[in-house]
Amino acid sequence: MGSESETVCVTGASGFIGSWLVMRLMERGYTVRATVRDPDNMKKVKHLLELPGANSKLSLWKADLDKEGSFDEAIKGCTGVFHVATPMDFESKDPEMYFVSKTLAEQEAWKYSKEHNIDFVSIIPPLVVGPFLMASMPPSLITALSLITGYLKFKNIHSIELSCASASPSSPHSVLPARVCSLIVEEFSKGLLYSSISGS
């Protein structure tokens, strides 16, 4: 992408990563088309509309991953698309399908980008934690804190215990589980503080 006066689209804009991306893009002068499932749901989009520059640099577009073609108008004419929307299903009957679908979708995206000479970047973070702009706690933070809060029940706790036990403090690449929990709580508290300061 070149000039910062260009128009870009951010899918899943009301989410954890999407809202930060929208804010940073507008700070750099981009006009942002933000796709959300329901632009009229103020509980979900208020934090976006209150971002600095939103009055002149942001427009909300209705789009849903379950509705084929619903993103077409939002991305038409954009010089870049940041596709961060994802369906959140924590009660899947077939959890392996999540990994299969992500792999197949990425393969198709690579194929399409090569055929149409489009620059493509794929980032697959295993877990995202940190301060958040939205009014409610992001699902990834709920998951990250679940070992502390007991919110989620893990069926395979033995594997978690083995993973924690195998973390060697003498290895330069290992991180002690206690330190990970400490970092998660620290980042979580920053998110709560930021949310209360920004009035989300």
> Would you name the residues annotated as active-site residues?
102
Helices 177-198 + 139-149 axis angle, to 10: 130
Alpha-carbon separation of residue 103 from 65, 69, 83, 99, 149 (angstroms):
17, 21, 15, 6, 31
d(CA 44, CA 13): 10
Q: Are 33 and 9 contacting, i.e. CB atoms less than 8 angstroms apart?
A: yes
d(CA 153, CA 160): 12
d(CA 23, CA 27): 6
Going across the sheet that includes 7-11, the strands are 58-62, 31-36, 7-11, 80-83
